[in-house]
Amino acid sequence: MAQARRRRAGVEQKFSRILCVTKSLSPSQFIMKTNNLKTQYPELDSVMAKLAKNLQNVLGENFVGLYLQGSLVLGDFDLTSDVDFIVVVNKELTEEEVKKVQYVHTNTYNQDNRWVKRLEYSYFPKNILRKTSSPFPITNDQKNKELWYFNNGHPTIERSDHCNTLVTRWTVREKGKAVIGPDPKSLIEPISPNTLRREIKDTLIGWGEYLLKNPKQYENRFYQSYLVLNFCRILHDLDKGEISSKLVGITWAKVNLDSKWIPLIDYCWEERKDTSISVKQPAKPEIYKQSLQFVKYAVEEGKRYIVN
């Protein structure tokens, strides 16, 4: 145990020397050295600017850029939202670089503000980012699609195909904002609406059928609303061939889907506004039952949709 602590202390001391220059700068200096990113939350701006600079410092020439995606760029970002982004690198992280980015993430995660516990991001080598890839339908090469990834609220890096999708690529290319880095259009090829629709349909059916077979893990207050709002958005995106926010999705759903779902959609949207909502809170049995029924309905709608 003592030997492990000494090893950990040695690693921390080594990487802290790399970061010392960034720790001496103020938040305003970080923002000046990045792309003057501004959200409605200054504390989040500071977190992202510092994180980008720290990753740039530890990765050196392997670092290409850090790009915001998700609701931060699609709209309707709020205090319950994940902070979604990707980090682009020239080549796959080495074992030593994985340790470095873990150290940076740990330093960030241990800060005293709400945003550092909501970060969700993957490391994309440039050559992989240019490829078209999707986790659905699940195939035997799924392992080859995995990237280094930090899950929302998790302190430890892992391998996952979570971000390795056309949805991520489209969002970064068409809507993404660089905290540091070149124009994302220079890194990602255009994605046609029907190419995007095919992935959205596969994801809608693949994920929907999976969660209907494995509903227990989603049986909580957070997911009973999230599922309804997210499947509204997925159906909208399938129809339009582009990626939208949850609010855009539910507005479309209330006009275009069976009107019997409107009370459930409205309830779930109001639930989302409660910033204390959590996966640790129990679901309401009747609402959760309706949420699963809506997922089943959405899957059937997806199966009926024909992509040219």
Per-residue pLDDT tens digits for 196-223: 999 999 999 999 999 999 999 999 999 9
Residues 38 and 129 in one domain: yes
pLDDT for the residue 36: 62
Angle at 122 between CA 246 and CA 151, to 5 degrees: 65
Quote the CA–CA distance of 34 and 225 in Å, as a whole number: 36
Give the helix/strand (H/E) hosting 116.
none
Per-residue pLDDT tens digits for 175-196: 999 999 999 999 999 999 999 9
Residue 124's contacts (CB-CB under 8 Å, 6 or more residues apart) are: 86, 87, 88, 89, 147, 163, 164
| Contact indicator for 177, 170 with CB cutoff of 8 Å | no
Asked if pLDDT for residue 281 goes beyond 90, the answer is yes
20 pLDDT tier (thresholds 50, 70, 90): very low
79 pLDDT tier (thresholds 50, 70, 90): confident
Residues 270 and 123 in one domain: no
Quote the CA–CA distance of 307 and 209 in Å, as a whole number: 19
Quote the CA–CA distance of 115 and 64 in Å, as a whole number: 23
Residues 134 and 180 in one domain: yes
Q: In 10 A of CB 149, how many CB atoms?
A: 19
Asked if pLDDT for residue 144 goes beyond 90, the answer is no
Here the tokens at position 270 are: 């109001």
Higher pLDDT, 291 or 133: 291
Residue-wise DSSP of 127-139:
HHHHS---S-S--
Average pLDDT of the chain is 88
Instruction: Enumerate the H helices of 60-177 as residue ranges.
Output: 71-74, 95-109, 126-130, 166-175
Count: domains in the chain: 2
Nearest to 107 by CA among 96, 118, 98, 116: 116
Residues 216 and 172 in one domain: no
Asked if pLDDT for residue 33 goes beyond 80, the answer is no
Give the helix/strand (H/E) hosting 85.
strand 83-89
Q: How far is CA 65 from CA 50, 123, 126, 211, 233, in A?
A: 13, 10, 10, 34, 28
Per-residue pLDDT tens digits for 103-114: 999 999 999 999
Residues 22 and 128 in one domain: yes
Residues 291 and 255 in one domain: yes
Residues 7 and 120 in one domain: yes
Quote the CA–CA distance of 49 and 35 in Å, as a whole number: 9
Asked if pLDDT for residue 23 goes beyond 90, the answer is no
Residues 101 and 234 in one domain: no
pLDDT for the residue 26: 36
- Which of 186, 214, 237 terminates a domain? The answer is 186
Residue 249 CA to its chain's centroid (Å): 17
Residues 98 and 53 in one domain: yes
Quote the CA–CA distance of 37 and 185 in Å, as a whole number: 18
Domain span at 265: 193-304
- Which of 164, 186, 208 terminates a domain? The answer is 186
pLDDT for the residue 35: 58
Buried-exposed string 72-109: b where 16+ CB fall within 10 A, e elsewhere: bbbeebeebbbbbbbbbbeeebeeebeebbbbbbebbb
Here the tokens at position 131 are: 């490829």
Residues 159 and 198 in one domain: no
Residue with tokens 């994985």: 98
- Which of 157, 186, 215 terminates a domain? The answer is 186
> Residue 132: which region, alpha, beta or left (left: phi > 0; alpha: psi -120 to 50)?
beta
Nearest to 267 by CA among 245, 243, 287: 287
pLDDT for the residue 29: 35
Residues 181 and 208 in one domain: no
Q: Please state the rounded mean pLDDT for residues 160-172.
A: 95
Residues 55 and 168 in one domain: yes
